[in-house]
Amino acid sequence: MLIDVKIPEVGESVTEGVLAVWLQEDGATVRAGEALFELETDKVTMTVPAEVGGRLQQLAAEGDVVKVGQTVARLDTDQAADAPEPVEAPEAPVTPKPAREAEATGEGPPIAAASGPAQAAEKLASDEPPLLSPAVRRLIEEHGLDASTISGTGKHGRLTKGDILKHLESRKPATALATAPPRQVEVSSSSTDAIRETRIRMSRLRSRIAERLVQVQQNAAILSTFNEVDMSAVIAFRSRHKDSFEKKFDVRLGFMSFFVKAAVDALKTVPQLNARIEGDEIVQQHYHDIGVAVGTEQGLVVPVIRDADQMSFAEIEKRIGEFAVKARERRLGLDDLTGGSFTISNGGIYGSLLSTPILNPPQSGILGMHRIQKRPVVTPDEQIVIRPMMYLALSYDHRIVDGAQAVTFLKRIVECVEDPERMLLEV
């Protein structure tokens, strides 16, 4: 029985995406729940699993733009992994490649996977290279590479696009040194020119990020204000309680939960930062859904901690940990990413000392955290001491937030972080 594999619905506003990469070979036998392919949309990258087990027949190629509900493959359930093998197999059947792939490579139809122990052992012992995806084959042909000399990190040693790009990157210096004669300015070798540049199609997520960043710069009056916070109290507080905290709640006590709590406190103090503009109206939001920016291989995503004002430190840390795992495994859904009334971005994990974050529309504010660095500071009693300091940046929409309100908000963040007990007592 043939079962259609269709592009699933991933949100009301998402009507199409890109079939980024097949995770199973055409003709492979897969089990129910096994990942078939990665789908890139303008909001999220996700893996699509097989609903039933069977032999896979691909109907779309990597890089194809696909519509929601479109059939991109079929699964033959009669060839499921748990189906009994035929008693007699006098001749291995021939399975034609999809027309698109056969036309692109100029190859004839490949021989289907051999059945039976003897044939399987013979195939494993052969020197036949694993099948290459269209995207990988295109890169190999463009750069004149030998696929057999490149180690694959994909399933069963399959070459991935990342393997090819990493190989090209590693051979750049050696190629330049070997091909460029001394004191020669002009290089005419077309193969050398090809290695100097690599063109990669922008993903749907990256394209959408670029579009939104340009849009917010054009439609909002963005201004930034800065302050610095002494992290001594939070570091000492965390050192005193981190072991007992982790033992009781089975989660590490990080810095982000302190800033989420401080942001909620500051938003209650200056509610203009928790509002948004719709047309000629200001919409005041009486909930506190805090977005936490997370960097992924595909780009920046902002999962949202719902009702952060009603959550404990442990609940916040657990939610952040769940988001980190989902982001690594590409399991973030639209429900995780939509909404949010305010955003926190931590550039400090990458070593940033100071930056100006860009608003996440339609929000009116975003807090930028940065690297903790020991610096000399002057205390209120005019003593010069060394303290672990962090620069904070608040970018805000000046159409709805005045400068005095922005400064008040950021000062409240500093007060909460420098005296964390006040957040526990809510004073």
pLDDT in tens, the chain (427 residues): 889 999 988 765 677 888 888 999 999 999 998 889 988 876 677 888 999 999 999 999 988 889 889 999 999 988 775 544 444 444 444 444 443 343 333 343 333 333 343 443 443 344 444 556 656 776 777 777 878 788 777 666 777 777 787 787 776 544 443 444 444 444 444 555 557 888 887 777 777 778 878 888 888 999 999 999 999 999 999 999 999 999 999 999 999 999 999 999 999 999 999 999 999 999 999 999 999 988 777 667 889 999 999 999 999 999 999 998 888 887 888 789 888 999 999 999 889 999 999 998 899 999 999 999 999 999 989 999 999 999 999 999 999 999 999 999 999 999 999 999 877 766 5
* Spatial distance between the Cα atoms of 196 and 347, rounded to a whole number of angstroms: 31
- Residue ranges, comma separated, of all CATH 4.10.320.10 domains in the chain are 131-201
Instruction: Read off the tokens for 94.
Output: 């021939």
What pLDDT is stored for residue 134 in this prediction? 57
Instruction: Classify 306 as helix, strand or coil.
Output: coil
Give 324-359 pLDDT, tens digit per residue.
888 888 788 878 988 899 999 999 988 999 999 999
Phi, psi of 419 (to 5 degrees): -140, 75
The structural architecture, per CATH, of the domain 131-201 is Irregular (4.10)
Which amino acids are annotated catalytic?
398, 402
Which helix (H) or strand (E) segment is 39 a member of? strand 35-40
Instruction: Read off the tokens for 96.
Output: 């034609």
* Spatial distance between the Cα atoms of 426 and 424, rounded to a whole number of angstroms: 5
* Spatial distance between the Cα atoms of 267 and 287, rounded to a whole number of angstroms: 10
Instruction: Read off the tokens for 388.
Output: 């672990």
Q: For domain 2-130, is the CATH number 3.40.50.2300?
A: no
DSSP state of 218: H
What pLDDT is stored for residue 427 in this prediction? 59
Rounded to two decimals, the pTM is: 0.62
Amino acid symbol at 260: V
The angle at the Cα of 293, spanning 408 to 68, to the nearest 5 degrees, equals: 135
DSSP for 69-128, written as a single string: T-EEEEEEGGG-TTSPPPS--SS--B-PPPHHHHHHHT--PPBPPP-SHHHHHHHHHS-P
| CA torsion, ordered 83, 88, 91, 92, to nearest 10 deg | 20
Given a contact cutoff of 8 angstroms between Cβ atoms, the answer to whether 5 and 75 are in contact is: yes
Using alpha carbons, list the distances in angstroms from residue 101 to 72, 73, 94: 15, 14, 16
Instruction: Classify 272 as helix, strand or coil.
Output: helix
The angle, 0 to 180 degrees and rounded to 10, between the axes of the packed helices 256-269 and 403-418 is: 140
Q: For domain 204-425, is the CATH number 3.30.559.10?
A: yes
User: Which residue in the block uniquely carries the two structure tokens 């991933």?
Assistant: 10
What pLDDT is stored for residue 231 in this prediction? 97
Instruction: Classify 176 as helix, strand or coil.
Output: helix
Given a contact cutoff of 8 angstroms between Cβ atoms, the answer to whether 154 and 160 are in contact is: yes
What pLDDT is stored for residue 149 in this prediction? 81
Which helix (H) or strand (E) segment is 342 a member of? strand 342-346
Given a contact cutoff of 8 angstroms between Cβ atoms, the answer to whether 257 and 242 are in contact is: no
- Identify which of 236, 258, 217, 156 has the alpha carbon closest to the alpha carbon of residue 356: 217
- Identify which of 117, 114, 159 has the alpha carbon closest to the alpha carbon of residue 22: 159
The count of other CB atoms within 10 Å of the CB of residue 365 is 30
Which runs of consecutive H residues, i.e. helices, occur in 144-186?
A: 161-170, 172-179
- Residue ranges, comma separated, of all CATH 2.40.50.100 domains in the chain are 2-130
User: Which residue in the block uniquely carries the two structure tokens 């033959």?
Assistant: 76
Helix, strand, coil % over all residues of the chain, rounded to 5? 35, 25, 40
The count of other CB atoms within 10 Å of the CB of residue 212 is 15
What pLDDT is stored for residue 135 in this prediction? 64
- Residue ranges, comma separated, of all CATH 3.30.559.10 domains in the chain are 204-425
* Spatial distance between the Cα atoms of 388 and 94, rounded to a whole number of angstroms: 68
Give 253-278 pLDDT, tens digit per residue.
999 999 999 999 999 999 999 999 99
The angle, 0 to 180 degrees and rounded to 10, between the axes of the packed helices 313-328 and 256-269 is: 120
* Spatial distance between the Cα atoms of 396 and 403, rounded to a whole number of angstroms: 9
The angle, 0 to 180 degrees and rounded to 10, between the axes of the packed helices 232-249 and 313-328 is: 80
